[in-house]
Amino acid sequence: MITMETPTKHQELLKWVQDIEKLCQPERIVWIDGSQQEKKRLENEAVSIGELIELNQDKHPGSFYHRSHPNDVARTESLTYICTKTKEDAGPTNNWMSPEEAYFKARKIFTGCMKGRTLYVIPFSMGPVGSKFSRIGIEITDSIYVVLNMRIMTRIGNDVLKVLGDHGEFTKCLHSKADLDIKKRLILHFPEDNTIWSVGSGYGGNALLGKKCLALRIAGYLGKTEGWMAEHMLILGIENPKGEVRYITAAFPSACGKTNLAMLIPPQGLKAKGYKVWTVGDDIAWLRIHPDGSLRAINPEAGFFGVVPGTNSNTNPNAVTTISRNTIFTNVALKSDNTVWWEGSDEPAPEKALDWSGDDWHPGIIDEQDNPIKAAHPNSRFTAPASQCPCISPKWEDPEGVPISAVLFGGRRARVAPLVYETFGWNHGVYVGATVGSERTAAQEGKVGEIRRDPMAMIPFCGYNMGDYFRHWIEMGKRTPRPPKIFHVNWFRTDEKGKFLWPGFGENLRVLEWVLERCEGKVSAVKTPVGHVPKKEEFDMTGLDLPGSALDQLLSVVPADWKEDLADQEAFFKKFGSKFPEEIWEEFRGMKKRLG
């Protein structure tokens, strides 16, 4: 075993690394220091062992390409467990395993899994190093790809160890690719031990343990215990024509366009009025009550791990600039000049390329069932530093966080939910957040039109019983002297022919303008049974021509549709039994009464 000098005197950390070394039996241990020299060294090594391909440095400076194992291309929710002492503590929406069984099963897979490999120790901070919002994690991994991704997605190295000191608290994050066998894959969370064990996957949310595992599942549990919140939310600053910046957070289920909204470009009419948009974060928000009574948010991440297909200069020009350098592309197509391509990019399809699995690809190619073969995997990703985003907020690393004026919830609803409505208050807002859901499309398993509930977009990411999570939301509202207003938005309403009624993308700023004006009491609204809906004439539509009655349809509230929805809500809420807060049932009953 080759060891280097350890850069810390933290006894608990050193003992843990020793224990893991005994378990995984690596050939050498490398402590990650976060330096530029180290970055270069790791990149060279990753290229030499085939983990990364260096991209054409004229076209993609500082950027690399990676292909993951074909069985390892997305988070595996079915193999993700919350390992609390009792099943009830994990709740009805999580897979549960007892800590004893989970450690036992995973220990067998981890035993000797790093033979001949390097064990990297990555000290990382979620949130600006040293901020009172921030938490420290130490990820042990045998994947150089994970190290290089964590370098972008979090703050890593000696600065973090300095803040950790000799006795600081940290989340123990153990990861190994092992042999990438899906039958030996487990993503285990031990909230009561502040520990994560992930084995058998090298991809995304399964392996970059700072992201979904720590910053949502473990942090959510810590936040409930300590009085703060970890949410699946983007954070956006909106500068109005007077130069005042107001911040919103928004929670949408995965694949509802959070990154696009977080990097929104104002449409011409609103730009001319003087609006600007500032990105603080695109995926996760940590929220705390500030001494001034506001709810403040930070983005605990330092980079974006965004979906590549569909990213282009129309859908998200800021993302296009963000990923123009120092980016790791995973599972997109590779052209012969070592540039990358994906479906929905600015470039036309190449005549030939290697697809995401490394096979020859050309436009029109089909598989044995006559289905078109995609060049880039639909879940292919870019990993890029947040600092490269042209509209990154000057406050994105503010250790005090940014004050939140409005919280938005939304799903994909073809029917029922209007474009936007304001809730009647915090508890009503929590009720609305608890009802978030998307209708199944023909592309998904199950009955088309059926609603998949995803409260606060947290179903896959809540590290404890979701009934307790709802209770925590209610308590946070009681404790926050100046809580944000809560709204619901729906960019996905369709007409009778199934055509989207709202153009989305930059035009969404029109909705956000109304939201912020409501927060400041500057515009009136129509009171409906579900909440306050904009008056058509108070909605700035300069420069946007919607056909005929589209705006009326978008803003309409049809009680009969909502009554149908209530039945589904009730069945969903009942899953949480006695854990479900009475305050939310009260809001449910209020809604029922208002609908008549």
Choose, by CB under 6 A, the member of 80, 339, 379, 405 that binds ligand O2Y.
Answer: 379
Considering only 201-209, 435-443, 500-508, 548-556, which stretch makes contact with ligand O2Y by CB under 6 A? 201-209
Q: Which secondary-structure segment (H or E) carries 526?
A: strand 525-527
What pairing do the DSSP bridges indicate for beta strands 381-385 and 360-361? unpaired
Residue 75: name its binding partner from Mn ion, ligand O2Y, none (Cβ under 5 to 8 Å by kind).
ligand O2Y
Q: Which position among 26, 128, 204, 309 is part of the footprint of ligand O2Y (CB under 6 A)?
A: 204
Helix (H, G, I), strand (E, B) or coil at 370: coil
Distance between CA atoms of residues 463 and 213, nearest Å: 8
Window 514-573: residues binding ligand O2Y (CB under 6 A): none
205, interface contact from ligand O2Y, Mn ion, none, CB < 5-8 Å by kind: ligand O2Y
Nearer to ligand O2Y, 196 or 554 (CB): 196
Given Mn ion, ligand O2Y, none, residue 379, with its beta carbon under 5 to 8 Å by kind, binds ligand O2Y
Strand 420-422 to strand 485-489: parallel, antiparallel, or no bridges (unpaired)?
A: antiparallel
Strands (E), 16-170: 28-31, 53-54, 64-66, 80-82, 95-96, 118-126, 135-141, 155-156
Residue 429 sits at φ, ψ, to 5 deg, of -65, -40
Choose the contact partner of 492 out of ligand O2Y, Mn ion, none; CB within 5 to 8 A by kind.
none
Binding span for ligand O2Y by CB under 6 A among 167-175, 203-211, 407-415, 443-451: 203-211
254 vs 423, beta carbon nearer ligand O2Y: 254
Task: Please pick, from the candidates 72, 283, 454, 507, the single residue that binds Mn ion as defined by CB under 5 A.
Answer: 283
Alpha-carbon distance of 163 to 450, in angstroms, equals: 49
DSSP classification of residue 77? G
Q: How many residues bind ligand O2Y (CB under 6 A)?
A: 9
Half-sphere exposure of 134 (CA within 13 A, CB side): 23
Q: Which is nearer to Mn ion, 97 or 287 (CB)?
A: 287
| Element spanning 361, H or E | strand 360-361
**Of the candidates 203, 341, 356, 431, which one interacts with ligand O2Y according to CB under 6 A?**
203
Interacting partner of 204 out of ligand O2Y, Mn ion, none (Cβ under 5 to 8 A depending on kind): ligand O2Y
Is 74 an interacting residue with respect to ligand O2Y (CB under 6 A)?
yes
Stretch that binds Mn ion, among 283-291, 378-386, 466-474, 546-554 (CB under 5 A): 283-291
Nearer to Mn ion, 283 or 507 (CB): 283
Residue 355 interacts with which of Mn ion, ligand O2Y, none, CB < 5 to 8 Å by class: none
Contact 283, 471 (CB under 8 A): no
Q: Say how far apart CA 261 and CA 286 lie, in whole Å.
A: 18
The residue (of 232 and 335) whose beta carbon lies closer to Mn ion is 232
Q: Which does 124 bind (CB under 5 to 8 A by kind): ligand O2Y, Mn ion, none?
A: none
- For residue 33, the one-letter residue type is D
Residue 463 within binding range of ligand O2Y, rule CB under 6 A: no
Which residue lies nearer to Mn ion by CB, 21 or 283? 283
Binding ligand O2Y (rule: CB under 6 A), the pick from 21, 139, 283, 587 is 283
Question: What is the footprint of ligand O2Y within residues 486-505 (CB under 6 A)?
Answer: none
Cα–Cα distance, 441 to 496 (Å, whole number): 15
Question: In the complex with ligand O2Y, which residue's Cβ is closer, 106 or 187?
Answer: 187
Min dist CB 45 to Mn ion, Å, is 30
CB of 208 to Mn ion, least distance (A): 12
Instruction: Give CA–CA dist 372/363, Å, rounded.
Output: 9
Long-range own/partner contacts, residues 191-197 (CB < 8 A, 24 or more apart): 191/82, 191/84, 191/217, 191/218, 191/221, 191/222, 191/463, 191/464, 192/84, 192/85, 192/99, 193/99, 194/169, 194/170, 194/218, 194/222, 195/171, 196/171, 196/172, 197/102, 197/103, 197/106, 197/110
What SS3 class is residue 110? helix
Residues sharing a CB contact under 8 Å with residue 39, sequence separation 6 or more, in sequence order: 148, 151
What is the set of active-site residues?
256
Binder of residue 74, out of Mn ion, ligand O2Y, none (CB less than 5 to 8 A by kind): ligand O2Y
Instruction: Determine the Cα angle at 288 with ends 284 and 291, to 5°.
Output: 150
Phi and psi, residue 59, nearest 5° = -90, -30
Single out the residue of 67, 75, 184, 288 in contact with ligand O2Y (rule: CB under 6 A).
Answer: 75
DSSP state of 348: P
Binding track over 236-255 against ligand O2Y, x by CB under 6 A: ------------------x-
Q: Which is nearer to ligand O2Y, 294 or 379 (CB)?
A: 379
Tokens of 314: 């129309």
Residues forming the site for ligand O2Y (CB under 6 A): 74-75, 203-205, 254, 283, 305, 379
- Interface residues with Mn ion (CB under 5 A) are 283
